[in-house]
Structure 1
Amino acid sequence: MHPPTPDADVLIVGAGPAGLALASALSDAGLTAILLEQQARDTLERPADDGREIALTHRARAVMGTLGLWSQVPAEAVSPLRQAHVLDGESPGLLRFGVSGDEALGWLIANHQIRRAAFRAAMARPGVQLRCAARVTGLDLGGPLARVTLADGQCLNAPLVVAADSRLSQTRRLAGIGASMHDFGRSVVVGPVAHEREHQGVALECFRYGNTLALLPMQGRCSSAVVTVAADRAGEWSALDDAGFAQRIEAQSGGRLGTMRCVGPRQLHPLVGVYAHRFVAPRFALIGDAAVGMHPVTAHGYNFGLYGVEVLVGALKAARGAGRDIGAPDTLQPYEAAHRRTTLPVYLGTNAVVSLFTDERAPARLARKAVLAVAEHAPGLSRLIKGAINRQLTGGPGLALPR
């Protein structure tokens, strides 16, 4: 009996920004891809603004440039991130991050702009097909080709299936791969604010007592206010009228940006961190949030997705060029190893930092003040800590700001 004919080289479950970027990269590498997405095409083509701003590293920008995503984003929708300042409670001191010279630490782009750009880039590729209203109900990885069964009974075959269907991936579960989940018990309330003073490209991360506030610089005298708060208090923040929300943000930022006013709606997102127990199985791989779903405080979510696309497609292209099976374990293991080396230390470190800086008990408050004081004022340790963080933020060499 002959094996079934493959419908594509790779079946990608999920047409979010990571899945779409993967499809583009596969097409550029000479591999065909079918994207399977539950949502309607119109939703993908014109994604709604969910209030989230994505901080992109230098490495992520390079990947987006190579795939043609960067050119799809309007220039006025890109905001340079030049420095980041971290404040603790009511303390007047702060920890500063940045890179030397005029180079940006990163760039901020609205999530819906990235989604739109990723969709346009993927749909321009001849090797990419998109099937909407396609819900995966079955997965068989045991044959010469992987088989995906859809809710309508249709079956598709390919040497490799990649799950890119969110941090709560049903496809990951169908593959028998578990994940460590960290429910922070918190939610994020986001909304744009205009302010009296220039932000000068500086992001503020204010670890308050009771909530965390981030102000992410946008174009003009505007910032995205990101409030992380215990889930049972999120409704209180969402219920504030525009004046009340702006006044609270102004007060919690210490008036650094002057008088504030709301310039858009607020939205609510729950916080759950996810790290898959494995990133690969025979004829199967995880990408994007299905592999690693990060707490947003270090802004690594989509960056890690793009890094994963770069490494995975590099491994698949090398295997195809050598005449090897792209779904074989020895093809996929290098991706597993490389992506885990990149992501696991940051995932664990981020969760530890978040746990420390959201702990309201007196010992934790003292500990976080000590961490910030040592990191800012001990020259050798300061350079070490800031350099490591800058390398993660920029994807390249990290240099602490001069004292």
Structure 2
Amino acid sequence: MSKKQAATKDLYDVAIGGGGYVGLTLALALKQSEPSMKIALVDLRPRSAIENDPRSSAIAAGAVRMLEQLGIWHQLEAEAQPINEMIVTDSKLHDSVRPVFLTFAGDVDEGEPFAHMVQNNHMVGALHDAATQEGVHIFAPDSVKDFAVEPASVQITLGEGKTIHSRVMIAADGVRSKLRDLAGIHCNRWSYNQSGIVTTVAHERPHNGRAEEHFLPSGPFAILPLKGNRSSIVWTEKTAEANRLVNGDEFTFEIELERRFGHHLGEVKLAGPRQAFPLNLVLARSFVSNRFALAGDAAHGIHPIAGQGLNFGFKDVAALSEVLVDAHRLGLDIGAAHILERYQSWRRFDTWQMGMTTDVLNRLFSNNIDPVRAVRDIGLGLVERMPFLKKSFIGEAAGMAGPSPKLLMGNPL
């Protein structure tokens, strides 16, 4: 086989680095919409490693519509827990009563909750299997060792030594993206000196689909409903305290957990492993470069206070897949600068706005200053009394605020 024939054989339309929910959903959306497109996905993890993620995530209604359109949701729906209501409190840790300042209830459309809780391993496993069945070429376990941009393609060197070419390369390899660094894209970043403790608990009484977010001086403590009498916990603490709690004995952890969780759902017990993740704000200064684009956490890592990190990754997928498919159908070069710039203009401002919003919210609520607490509680109370404003917040939480890509509206590309 000649070098020219080999290059043609290994020329993909899109190569994606990273096989998490962003990379897999993008690969699946592109391949389903345009079966003629050749899609490569490179992931460090073998298929079996996907099953080891014990975490769960809140999937907004817009993302659910996209997963329905991609034929995935029916595999997840039976185990997914609808979030029917959400309450917000603001208190000190030792307060005996936590007054509810804000409540959210109601559907986006009739019978359509604004979010569901889904186990990560079920979601990513279903996406992986569907992408494989559709004909996405998955290199796993493997990695992108390096890449070089050529006039009409990107030459990609894999860790196992193979070389492939692609018209455009997408980095979906997480907040500590190696590919972003290789592309020379810089980030604005700072540390919150906080970590998010994530675990699953079992409790005596049913949650009835209610999510809770308790603003405490160290940061938000979120209780997110799962199937059965179980809930997912996202617990923000100062990093030193979080490490102490995660690495300490289970009895001490459960005592501290109960102080924050309360007794309204009866006895609470750990039902999963404890993990802690450092919380930082990371915003890429550019989402695109020459034949290269960032998506998901590689483009933005934001504080979980608003629960939008994963859903912003799904927004990236919906926008980027629409841009690439439109260009492909018009016979355009999908890696051209003006094509990728359309994606950047669609997503960058929205992402920076959310990054700044979560940063301000975290600074406003993660403190123990009484005058600040009084002002924020007045603000929460005003929102509670303004139905139209609450409705707009529900739309934002559902992932449908602003001009939404087709997939987030449940429409095909």
Q: Distance in 2 between matches of 1:145 and 1:253?
A: 53
Partner of 2:29: 25
Q: What runs of 5+ residues in structure 1 fail to find an aligned partner?
A: 399-403
User: Of the candidates 364, 378, 383, which is equivalent to residue 370 of structure 1?
Assistant: 378
Q: Distance in 2 between matches of 1:272 and 1:136?
A: 25
Partner of 1:72: 75
Q: Distance in 1 between matches of 2:349 and 2:101?
A: 30
Residue 12 of structure 2: SS of its match in structure 1?
coil
- 1:393 equivalent in alignment to 2:377: no
Partner of 2:408: none
Residue 167 of structure 1: SS of its match in structure 2?
coil
Q: Distance in 2 between matches of 1:254 and 1:261?
A: 12
Shift of residue 199, structure 1, vs aligned partner: 1.3
Partner of 1:108: 117
Deviation string 1:202-230 (CA, Å, 9 cap, x unpaired) is 11111122343111111122212221100
Q: Give, as a single letter, the amino acid of the residue that structure 1 aligns with 2:80.
A: V
Q: Distance in 2 between matches of 1:389 and 1:246?
A: 33
Q: Distance in 2 between matches of 1:138 and 1:239?
A: 36
Shift of residue 316, structure 1, vs aligned partner: 1.2
Residue 318 of structure 2: SS of its match in structure 1?
helix
Residue 103 of structure 2: SS of its match in structure 1?
strand
Given that residues 59 and 311 in structure 2 are in contact (C-alpha distance below 8 angstroms), is that contact kept between their aligned partners in structure 1? yes
Shift of residue 388, structure 1, vs aligned partner: 2.9
Partner of 2:228: 220
- 1:42 equivalent in alignment to 2:48: yes
CA RMSD of aligned residues (A): 2.4
Residue 73 of structure 1: SS of its match in structure 2?
helix
Given that residues 245 and 252 in structure 2 are in contact (C-alpha distance below 8 angstroms), is that contact kept between their aligned partners in structure 1? no
User: Of the candidates 125, 131, 134, which is equivalent to residue 125 of structure 1?
Assistant: 134
Using a 3 Å threshold, how does the CA distance of structure 1 residues 370 and 182 change in structure 2: closer, same or farther? farther
Q: Distance in 2 between matches of 1:103 and 1:150?
A: 43
Shift of residue 61, structure 1, vs aligned partner: 0.4
Using a 3 Å threshold, how does the CA distance of structure 1 residues 68 and 293 change in structure 2: closer, same or farther? farther
Q: Give, as a single letter, the amino acid of the residue that structure 2 aligns with 1:371.
A: G
Q: Give, as a single letter, the amino acid of the residue that structure 2 aligns with 1:115.
A: V
Residue 381 of structure 2: SS of its match in structure 1?
helix
Partner of 1:86: 88
Given that residues 324 and 334 in structure 2 are in contact (C-alpha distance below 8 angstroms), is that contact kept between their aligned partners in structure 1? yes
Q: Distance in 2 between matches of 1:203 and 1:347?
A: 23
Q: Distance in 2 between matches of 1:190 and 1:278?
A: 30
Partner of 1:55: 58
Given that residues 72 and 121 in structure 1 are in contact (C-alpha distance below 8 angstroms), is that contact kept between their aligned partners in structure 2? no
Residue 116 of structure 2: SS of its match in structure 1?
strand
User: Of the candidates 95, 115, 118, which is equivalent to residue 102 of structure 2?
Assistant: 95
Q: Distance in 2 between matches of 1:182 and 1:206?
A: 24
Q: Distance in 1 between matches of 2:383 and 2:300?
A: 28
Q: Give, as a single letter, the amino acid of the residue that structure 1 aligns with 2:106.
A: V
Using a 3 Å threshold, how does the CA distance of structure 1 residues 291 and 261 change in structure 2: closer, same or farther? same
Deviates more, 1:8-17 or 1:189-198: 189-198
Using a 3 Å threshold, how does the CA distance of structure 1 residues 358 and 67 change in structure 2: closer, same or farther? same
Given that residues 303 and 359 in structure 2 are in contact (C-alpha distance below 8 angstroms), is that contact kept between their aligned partners in structure 1? yes
Deviates more, 1:116-125 or 1:263-272: 263-272
Q: Give, as a single letter, the amino acid of the residue that structure 2 aligns with 1:96.
A: T
Given that residues 375 and 385 in structure 1 are in contact (C-alpha distance below 8 angstroms), is that contact kept between their aligned partners in structure 2? yes
Residue 200 of structure 1: SS of its match in structure 2?
coil
Partner of 1:271: 279
Shift of residue 395, structure 1, vs aligned partner: 2.8
Identity of aligned residues (%): 32
Q: Distance in 2 between matches of 1:277 and 1:194?
A: 42
> How many pairs are equivalent?
389
In the superposition, the TM-score normalised over structure 2's length comes to: 0.87
Q: Distance in 2 between matches of 1:394 and 1:133?
A: 34
Using a 3 Å threshold, how does the CA distance of structure 1 residues 147 and 16 change in structure 2: closer, same or farther? same
Shift of residue 144, structure 1, vs aligned partner: 1.7
Given that residues 218 and 236 in structure 2 are in contact (C-alpha distance below 8 angstroms), is that contact kept between their aligned partners in structure 1? no
Q: Distance in 1 between matches of 2:53 and 2:142?
A: 24
User: Of the candidates 349, 358, 367, which is equivalent to residue 359 of structure 1?
Assistant: 367
Given that residues 199 and 233 in structure 2 are in contact (C-alpha distance below 8 angstroms), is that contact kept between their aligned partners in structure 1? yes
Using a 3 Å threshold, how does the CA distance of structure 1 residues 93 and 151 change in structure 2: closer, same or farther? closer
Q: Give, as a single letter, the amino acid of the residue that structure 2 aligns with 1:95.
A: L
In the superposition, the TM-score normalised over structure 1's length comes to: 0.89
